[in-house]
């Protein structure tokens, strides 16, 4: 249980960090669109990497595989929600 919290927490902190960087560095007339597309791309890559790590750990029968799979789901739901939410504000 501690491993799941640790992996999920680290992944959420990483997601928060790149969302802040994307929001702070996006400028121009189409800022909202840039934030939306960059955030969606970053979250998609993050989820793909987490799922890939989970699959590798499942093949190796590592108990951390479930933690990475759960973390991928959390990043997917929270990431795309914050992606859309940052544009709506």
Closest among 24, 11, 85 to 50, alpha carbons compared? 11
Q: Please report, for residues 24, 27, 56, 73, 87, the alpha-carbon distance to residue 11 in angstroms, rounded to integers and kept in the order given.
A: 20, 26, 17, 11, 22
What pLDDT, on a 0 to 100 scale, did the predictor assign at position 74?
93
Q: Quick one: tokens of 6?
A: 């640790």
Q: Which of 17-21, 30-34, 56-60, 85-89 has the lowest mean pLDDT?
A: 85-89
Enumerate the domain spans of the chain: 2-88
- pLDDT (tens digit, 9 = 90+) per residue, 28-78? 888 888 889 999 999 999 999 999 999 999 999 998 999 999 999 999 999
All residues at 6 or more sequence positions from 59 whose CB lies less than 8 Å from its CB, including other chains? none
Half-sphere exposure of residue 89: CA atoms within 13 angstroms, side-chain side: 9
Q: Smallest Cα–Cα separation from 71: which of 13, 27, 22? A: 13
Contacts with 72 (C-beta within 8 Å, 6 or more apart), sequence order: 11, 47, 50, 51, 54
Q: Please report the pLDDT score of residue 89 as a whole number.
A: 65
């Amino acid at each position: 249980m501690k491993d799941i919290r640790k992996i999920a927490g680290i992944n959420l902190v990483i997601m928060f960090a790149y969302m802040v960087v994307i929001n702070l560095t996006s400028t121009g007339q189409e800022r909202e669109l840039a934030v939306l597309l960059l955030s969606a791309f970053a979250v998609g890559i993050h989820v793909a990497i987490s799922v890939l790590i989970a699959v590798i750990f499942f093949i190796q029968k590592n108990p951390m595989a479930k933690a990475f799979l759960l973390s991928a789901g959390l990043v997917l739901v929270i990431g795309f929600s914050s992606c859309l939410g940052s544009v709506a504000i």
